[in-house]
């Protein structure tokens, strides 16, 4: 079967080859309905770009990179990453681009970025899991790699950021618990060197009062932290967790110990609505963040001036895992 060409896509969409080229290379200036018609035609024809020809003609890799310094087991268990990557891939596939993903130990993360830059395998990168005082910003500037950060870092950065803000979600969770009569509200947070963990902890500190336990975002870590809290001399009546995975594990420990405690999570993962009791949590949209980050990064690579990208604020979803002081719904 003959491979479909740009000429075929243009004929199917009823536009010129030049217009098709503009759209498939992610350049601005084409009306949204025309762009949609071209992308639909390309998908229906099964058109795929010749990366080798494009790279030779433009000195571009037509790929972007994502380096994740997480344990592979934790990466697979955390629903955030598949959703974010799905959003990225949705945008990249429309533009004929590829994603180069590296999962590395934390002490090899810098080497991972240097390899990507040195081999010219990518034209830019996404920066997730921002750290407190993140040194990777300066590293990417040194390497000359365009980047988009997920959230605004706490160090100077010339890169555009997807303006994710976790604070309103944590504040809403704590206030919801206070309205139910809870006063001793604990927090099970993530590793302190992650900026989003530090932000969630600060929002909890400024709103509520109770004990704090640092965990690692894993189910095992959430379970261990919950046991420590509930077996203490003054167990909390409510616990705000930094993600759903730890919250669900914590609920299981509370049920095992027979201790009534209200629980909130963060992320509103698919499983949250189906555990017993259903989990009160904070809804975020990592799929949208992935789409927005990919659009911004491709624009940056094309030489466009990019500013920070706003996204809708997190929202509290109230379910059965929170109840007035004295017990949770069953």
pLDDT tens per residue, range 131-188: 999 999 999 999 999 999 999 999 999 999 999 999 999 999 999 999 999 999 999 9
pLDDT tens for each residue of 83-133: 999 999 999 988 888 999 998 888 899 999 999 888 888 999 999 999 999
What's the pLDDT tens digit per position in 263-308? 999 999 989 999 999 999 999 999 999 999 999 999 999 888 889 9
pLDDT confidence of residue 303: 86
Q: Is the pLDDT of residue 328 over 90?
A: no
Does 211 score more than 90 pLDDT?
yes
What residues does each domain of the chain span? 6-48, 60-164+285-312, 167-283
The 10s digit of each residue's pLDDT in 47-59 is 766 544 444 444 6
Share of the chain above pLDDT 70, in %: 92
pLDDT at residue 23, as a whole number:
79
Say whether domain 167-283 belongs to CATH 3.40.50.2300.
yes
Residue 94: per-residue pLDDT: 83
User: Does the fold of domain 167-283 match that of domain 60-164+285-312?
Assistant: yes
Of residues 324, 302, 309, the one with CA closest to residue 161? 309
* pTM score: 0.79
Confidence check: pLDDT of 78 > 80: no
pLDDT at res. 28:
66
Of the two residues 207 and 18, the one the predictor is more confident about is 207
Q: Which of 60-64, 139-143, 161-165, 229-233 has the lowest mean pLDDT?
A: 60-64
Asked if CATH classification 3.30.450.20 holds for the domain at 60-164+285-312, the reply, yes or no, is no
What architecture (CATH level 2) is domain 6-48? Orthogonal Bundle (1.10)
Three-class SS of the chain: CCCCCHHHHHHHHCCCHHHHHHHHCCCCCCCHHHHHHHHHHHHHHCCCCCHHHHHHHHCCCCEEEEEECCCHHHHHHCCHHHHHHHHHHHHHHHCCCEEEEEECCHHHHHHHHHHHHHCCCCCCEEECCCECCCCHHHHHHHHCCCEEEECCCCCCCCCCEEECCCHHHHHHHHHHHHHCCCCCEEEEECCCCEHHHHHHHHHHHHHCCCCEEECCCCHHHHHHHHHHHHCCCCCCCEEEECCHHHHHHHHHHHHHHCCCCEEECCECCHHHHCCCCCCEEEECCHHHHHHHHHHHHHHHHCCCCCCCEECCCCEEECCCCCCCCCCCCC
Q: Which of 8-22, 52-66, 156-170, 191-205 has the lowest mean pLDDT?
A: 52-66
Q: Which of 36-50, 74-88, 204-218, 232-246 has the lowest mean pLDDT?
A: 36-50
Q: Does 315 score more than 90 pLDDT?
A: yes
Q: What local confidence, expressed as pLDDT, does residue 90 receive?
A: 92
In the prediction, which pLDDT does 27 show?
Answer: 66
pLDDT number for residue 52 = 46
Over the chain, what is the mean pLDDT?
89
Q: Identify the pLDDT of residue 329.
A: 44
What's the pLDDT score for residue 320? 96
């Amino acid at each position: 079967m003959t491979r479909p060409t740009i000429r075929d896509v243009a004929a199917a969409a009823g536009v010129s080859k030049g217009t098709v080229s503009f759209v498939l290379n992610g350049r601005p200036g084409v009306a949204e309905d025309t762009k949609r018609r071209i992308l639909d035609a390309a998908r229906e024809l099964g058109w795929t770009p010749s990366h080798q020809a494009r790279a030779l003609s433009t000195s571009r890799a037509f790929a972007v990179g994502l380096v994740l310094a997480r344990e592979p087991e934790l990466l697979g268990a955390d629903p955030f990453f598949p959703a974010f990557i799905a959003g990225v891939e949705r945008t990249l596939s429309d533009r004929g681009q590829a994603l180069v993903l590296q999962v590395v130990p934390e002490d090899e993360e810098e080497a991972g970025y240097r390899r990507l830059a040195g081999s010219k395998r990518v034209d830019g990168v996404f920066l997730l899991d921002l750290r407190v005082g993140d040194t990777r910003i300066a590293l990417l500037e040194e390497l000359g790699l365009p980047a988009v950060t997920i959230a605004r870092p706490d160090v100077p950065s010339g890169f555009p950021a997807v303006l994710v803000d976790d604070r309103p979600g944590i504040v809403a969770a704590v206030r919801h618990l206070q309205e139910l009569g809870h006063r001793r509200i604990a927090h099970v947070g993530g590793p302190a060197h992650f900026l989003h963990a530090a932000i969630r902890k600060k929002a909890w500190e400024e709103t509520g009062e109770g004990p704090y336990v640092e965990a690692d975002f894993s189910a095992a870590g959430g379970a261990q932290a919950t046991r420590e809290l509930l077996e203490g001399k003054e167990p909390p009546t409510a616990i705000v967790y930094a993600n759903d995975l730890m919250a669900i594990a914590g609920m299981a420990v509370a049920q095992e110990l027979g201790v009534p405690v209200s629980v909130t999570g963060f992320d509103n993962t698919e499983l949250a609505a189906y555990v017993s009791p259903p989990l009160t949590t904070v809804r975020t949209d990592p799929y949208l963040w992935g789409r927005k980050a990919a659009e911004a990064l491709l624009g940056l690579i094309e030489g466009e001036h990019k500013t920070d990208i706003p996204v809708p604020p997190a929202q509290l979803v109230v379910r059965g895992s929170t109840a007035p002081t004295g017990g949770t719904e069953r």
